[in-house]
Amino acid sequence: MTKQVPLVTIIGVSKAGKTTLIEKLIPELRRRGFRVGTIKHHSHPGLEIDQPGKDSWRHAQAGSDHVVVACPDRIASYRSLEHELDLDDIASEMTNVDIILTEGYMQATKPTIQVVREANSRELIGTAEQCIAIATDATLPVETPCYGLNDTVALADLLERSFLS
């Protein structure tokens, strides 16, 4: 049986800095020798990742249920779904990583790091039980450990201690 890859979801209101935090955590975790995967939830149907007119796009338009585009240094795979996949099902396909960071899965029952920006909203979302840290530029009256928005070294320390040791 394969070990389940740890999954931590980054949550926050729109424009809080979730993507920026993930962009900063990835190189810090990679610097430490960890392989990092990411999953971004897009809540609107009809995601287009291919370019109209390209061969792979034409395959999909013709009715291919699963399209894979491969080149010497990358592979991309996409398929049509009858229903939205559970986060664990998606994560189970990512076997070549040590940790998965997700963005946009606010309803998932996974450990979370919440991003709170004073200028945007001090609103906390999600559940306190799942929140392992808050990345913020505000002073918040909470018991959850708070880190600076740019303190990716300390946040990576937390992830390494909690999930990668």
Tokens at residue 51, please? 């370019």
pTM, two decimals, is 0.88
> pLDDT tier at 158 (50, 70, 90 boundaries)?
very high
Instruction: Please give the mean pLDDT across all residues of the chain.
Output: 90
Domain range for 142 is 7-43+84-164
- The CATH number of whichever domain residue 135 belongs to comes to 3.40.50.300
Strand partners, 78: 67
Judge whether 160 lies within some domain: yes
**Domains of the chain: total:** 1
Judge whether 134 lies within some domain: yes
Judge whether 153 lies within some domain: yes
**Residue pLDDT, tens place only, 6-49:** 999 999 998 999 999 999 999 999 999 999 999 998 776 766 77
pLDDT given for residue 151 in this prediction? 97
Judge whether 149 lies within some domain: yes
> pLDDT tier at 2 (50, 70, 90 boundaries)?
low
Residues 6+ apart with CB under 8 A from 140: 116, 122, 124, 134, 146
What gap in Å lies between CA 33 and CA 36, rounded to an integer?
A: 9
